[in-house]
Structures are given as structure tokens and as C-alpha cells.
Amino acid sequence: MPSPRYHREIPARFRLEAGKCAGCGRVSYPARKVCPACRGQEMEQVKLSPRGTVVTSTVIHVPPDDFLNEAPYAMAVVETAEGARFMTQVVDCDPSTVLPGMEVDLEFRLIRKEGKSGILCYGHKGVPGSV
Amino acid sequence: MREVAIVGSGMTKFGELWDMSLRDLFVEAALGAMKSAGVDSIDSIYIGNMSAGQFVGQEHLGPLMADHLGVAGVPATRVESACASGGMALRSAYLEVASGMSDLVLASGVEKMNDGADVTGVLATASDQEQEVYYGVTFPGLYALIARAHMEKYGTTEEDMSWVSVKAHRNGAKNPHAQFRRVMSLEDVMTSSMVAEPLRLLHCSPVTDGGAALLLCPLDRAHEFTDRPVKILASGAATSTLALADRADPADLDVVDLSGKRAYEMAGLTPEDIDVAEVHDCFAIAEICCYEALGFVERGKGKDAAREGITDLGGRIPVNVSGGLKSKGHPVGATGIAQAVTIIEQLRGEGGEVQVEGANIGLAQNLGGSGASSVVHIFQGV
Ligand SMILES: [Zn+2]
């Protein structure tokens, strides 16, 4: 992934910055220009709370090339208290225990290495919840 | 709008076709469609193709394919909607004939997947690069997430999904075009290797090369080309969110629901009127979701349909008598056209060993991405 492309995603990936619609309150992560619920265009910046609940999950056994050394690993759609949903890995546990309803904390982690030079790319991953 | 008929069809064998290039696949399917209608000239071409740019490094398919078909000069363009590219190419051709702009239009689909490309990586580009692929999800992984959500919501089991694969192979074993012409037992499916839990290898469609084509014309000219035209009653298309996480409910393919409703409304029909259907079983769970979204069974009952024989040959609504994507193969851009080819054969009574007795109205549903685009066509033998 070329660096300008990576750079644009930093606010969402590093700081969990999201957009909240001033009209209807819908939280979009990452932020969007147009609210998918009401088409409002007035957005305020909010930060997601770094924890959520697993909505659905899987364990990847046949991974993409960039994740060959990590399989099998769990992936989940996670919903935060703000109602935002997104895709993430859930780590630091037996992947088969990652099931709908599981509480996870979101931690800043290395996600992947890009290209021949192995540029380090970061973001958030879920870990078993501390509560 | 003018009424539109399909008067010719053609398709290649599906499989790992090492001796055939992208253009060879297109030309064989297109010549087949033109020959079956007895025409040697056409007005326009649509080519459904997901990703020739990534699979074989070739873009700009319109002029390439027109040239190799020997009709350079005609308008020709590629239509892309991931795995729904073929269905969308058919829709485009239908609209061009219905509008009165052209009379003889070729709707085709082609994909060359076995030419050395990183297939997993290419297919993943039909999902959200920034929000899904970046974090390591694969295409089977996305459908596995749908499967687990469906299991949570409706109590669907791994065995329920496995019966869909068993049915697919039972039908596909009788299809001379199919990639995997062999019967699979429930045990074969349930002991195959894990790809993305809860999906195993035999819940997943294969990597396939293939091409398919249809020739469309105004209904009032159809008898110039064939004794058995098939009328297009409806075309319904829809989109949903690209990212699975943004869907209202990951357990339901809402895009299939919407495209189906639009098609039923246009045709003035209900699910009970459909005699035979081809639906997009890229993964076994997708077929179960499609049963529900297209109204063949009640929501939550999709899990029982294959096991109880409701969707088998001889059942109440036979689905994927071709063997589906699972057994016939899934050359992504060609699939939507190939589904329609099967329905056309059924409505002409040319279904051979898998002919549905008295089939008069048929439906084909083609899905893109993890359920982000869908197109449904309804046909009638006339
Ligand atoms: Zn809003």
C-alpha cells in the first residue's frame, strides 16, 4: 500500500476517530462525508470508546499471503457503545473462543507488513475484555 | 420499452482450462450464441468481467473481444460488478434492446482465473480494501462471518450448509460443462479441510476459467432466429453496503431481497410462480440466504430446504440444477450469464438429465462481493 494511501487512514486507524451525524446521531467509522442513515452532511468528530462486543466471527485457516504466519486467527465484526461496527482481528486468546457476544478491548497493534521493504502498518485489534 | 427475447446461447466447458486464454473463452462462447441463433452480425456487445486487469493484466476488453470475434467496429464495452458482472452485462444488453437503440445485442461474461494470479488477493478486491482486506479478512472469511451470524439468528448448522453442497454435486455430476462432475457425500463435505470457520473447502465454489454468452433481440423479431425464444419478463438490480460491518444485519443478504422484489414487481409475479431457479451459491450459506431473500421459503427456514429436498430436482422449487457455482464452477464474470444459459435451456426443454418437468418460468440471481450488489432476471418460455 503506497504511503499517501496509508497516511489518509491514520486518524481512523490510530486514534479511532469517527464521524457523528449532527442530524440523526448515527456514528460512522471511519468518518464519512454523507450520513448513510439520513444523508445529512453536517458531521462532528468523535472518538470511539476502545471496547466493543463481537457481532459475528470466524477463524481464518487459509489466509492472504501477508498473513501467512498468523493463521489460524480470529476475525470479528465488533460493535462499540457508540453503535459503530467494524472488522478487526481478535488476538491474545484461543481463536475458537471468539464468538458472538464476546466483550473485547481494542488495542493499538501492528496489523501487517507491506511490500518488499516490509513497511509496518498499524491499527487496532480486539483482545479479550478486561471487565 | 420493447419486449425482449433471448434467441441464442453458448458457453465453454468450465474448469482449469490451461489451453485457453481469456479471448479464446470469449470467442468460443460468443460464436456458440451467434451460431445457435443463425446470425453472423450483431449490433453491440456487453462483456461481464470482474477482473481481467488483475487476473491476466488485460483491461479494455470491449475492442479486444469485438476484434477477435471478427466484428471490430461494433460498440463493445465491459460491465463490472464483481461476481455479479455477468448478470449486470445481461441487464445492460436487455436495456439496450428494450430501449429500441439496438436489435441484436450479445450479452457475454468471461473470466480467466487460472493464469498465475494471486486469486485470493484478486477476489478480495470485491470487498472493502481499507476496512476489511487491510485487517486480513479473505472472501471465504466474509461469508463465514455471514454464516455464523445466520447460525446465531436462525439456528442454521454446518450440516444444513453441507446438504446444499451435496445437492450441488448431485446435479453437477450430470452437467457436461461442470468443473467437478462428481457426487459428494455428506461426510465428504463435513470432513473437508477448514477454510474459514464454519466454512469448509466443500462449502466453497472453486477457481474456474470459463465464458458464456446470450443473444438478445426484440421479441417481435425472435422467430426470425429460433423456434423457441425465451422472453425476459424482468430485470431487478440493487446495491447494499460494500463493507459487511455496515449492513443492517450480517445474517441476511438484504441486497438479494431488494433485487428480487424489484424483479417480481416488474414481472407481476410472486415466488410461487417460479418453476426453476439458479442462485448465487459462491458459498453454501449464500444459497441458504438466497432461498429466504427470494421468498422460496420463509425467513429462517432456508436451512431445511436442501436437506428436505425442497430445492432438489423433483422438489417444490428446484434450485441450481446446473450444479451451481459449487460444482459447475465459478468463473466470476461469466457466472451471471452461465446461470441464465441454464435457465434458457430449461425453459426450452433442453435441460437433458436435469430437465424440470414443464418448466415455463425461471429465475436467475447473481451476487457481487459479500452481498453488495445483486441482479435478478425472470424469464418465460414463449
Ligand atoms: Zn444522519
Is residue B261 domain-resident?
Answer: yes
pLDDT of residue A131: 63
Residues B216 and B194 in one domain: no
By the CB < 8 Å criterion, does A64 face chain B? yes
A85-95 burial, b for 16+ CB within 10 Å, e for fewer? bbbbbbbeeeb
Tell me the average pLDDT of chain A. 94
Is residue B126 domain-resident?
Answer: no
User: Domain containing B56: what range?
Assistant: 4-118+207-224
Catalytic (active site) residue B330: yes
Residue A53 alpha carbon to ligand 1 centre in Å = 23
pLDDT of residue A117: 83
Set of chain A residues whose Cβ sits within 8 Å of the Cβ of B148: 56-58, 99-100
From B152, B197, B245, residue closest to A85, measured CB to CB? B245
Residue A27 alpha carbon to ligand 1 centre in Å = 8
Residues B290 and B199 in one domain: yes
B291 touches B302 (CB < 8 A): yes
Residues B14 and B43 in one domain: yes
From A58, A59, A111, residue closest to B135, measured CB to CB? A111
The alpha-carbon gap from B85 to the nearest alpha carbon of chain A, in Å, equals 24
Is residue B129 domain-resident?
Answer: no
pLDDT of residue A116: 81
User: Is B314 a residue whose pLDDT tops 90?
Assistant: yes
By the CB < 8 Å criterion, does A88 face chain B? yes
User: Is A23 a residue whose pLDDT tops 80?
Assistant: yes
What is the band of B346 on the pLDDT scale with cuts at 50, 70, 90? very high
pLDDT of residue B159: 98
Residues B176 and B214 in one domain: no
- Inter-chain touch A64–B138, beta carbons under 8 Å: yes
Is residue B128 domain-resident?
Answer: no
pTM tops 0.95: yes
Residues B220 and B263 in one domain: no
Residues B177 and B77 in one domain: no
pLDDT of residue A115: 79
- Mean pLDDT, residues B361-373: 98
Residues B220 and B243 in one domain: no
User: Is A101 a residue whose pLDDT tops 60?
Assistant: yes
Residues B200 and B211 in one domain: no
| CATH label of the domain that carries residue B29 | 3.40.47.10
By the CB < 8 Å criterion, does A112 face chain B? yes
pLDDT of residue A2: 57
In Å, how far from its chain's centre is CA B265?
21
Residue B227 alpha carbon to ligand 1 centre in Å = 55
B78 touches B47 (CB < 8 A): yes
Catalytic (active site) residue B83: yes
Is residue B109 domain-resident?
Answer: yes
- Inter-chain touch A87–B131, beta carbons under 8 Å: yes
Is residue B97 domain-resident?
Answer: yes
pLDDT of residue A50: 96
Residue A68 to residues A62, A113, B41, B370, Cα–Cα distance (Å): 8, 11, 50, 22
From B118, B120, B246, residue closest to A85, measured CB to CB? B246
pLDDT of residue A119: 86
pLDDT, tens digit, for every residue of B83-140?
999 999 999 999 999 999 999 999 999 999 999 999 999 999 999 999 999 999 999 9
User: Is A103 a residue whose pLDDT tops 80?
Assistant: yes
- Inter-chain touch A60–B196, beta carbons under 8 Å: yes
Tell me the average pLDDT of chain B. 98
Set of chain A residues whose Cβ sits within 8 Å of the Cβ of B203: none
CA dist A88 and A77 (Å) reads 6
- Mean pLDDT, residues B246-260: 97
- Mean pLDDT, residues B193-221: 98
By the CB < 8 Å criterion, does B32 face chain A? no
Residues B173 and B309 in one domain: yes
pLDDT of residue A127: 98
By the CB < 8 Å criterion, does B132 face chain A? yes
Ranges of each domain in chain A: 3-126
Residues B325 and B179 in one domain: yes
- Mean pLDDT, residues B324-348: 98
ipTM for the whole complex: 0.97
Three-class secondary structure assignment of B330-349: CCCCCHHHHHHHHHHHHHCC
Instruction: Tell which residue, A41, A14, A47, A42, has the closest CA to residue A29.
Output: A47
By the CB < 8 Å criterion, does A115 face chain B? no
B239 touches B363 (CB < 8 A): no
Neighbour-count burial of B350, counting CB atoms closer than 10 A to its CB (0-12 exposed, 13-18 middle, 19+ buried): exposed
Is residue B151 domain-resident?
Answer: yes
From B140, B145, B199, residue closest to A77, measured CB to CB? B145
pLDDT, tens digit, for every residue of B255-275?
999 999 999 999 999 999 999
User: Is A1 a residue whose pLDDT tops 70?
Assistant: no
Residues B102 and B158 in one domain: no
Q: What is the DSSP letter of B319?
A: B
pLDDT of residue B244: 98
Residues B28 and B109 in one domain: yes
pLDDT of residue A5: 83
- Mean pLDDT, residues B199-206: 98
C-alpha cell, B184: 459428494
Is residue B304 domain-resident?
Answer: yes
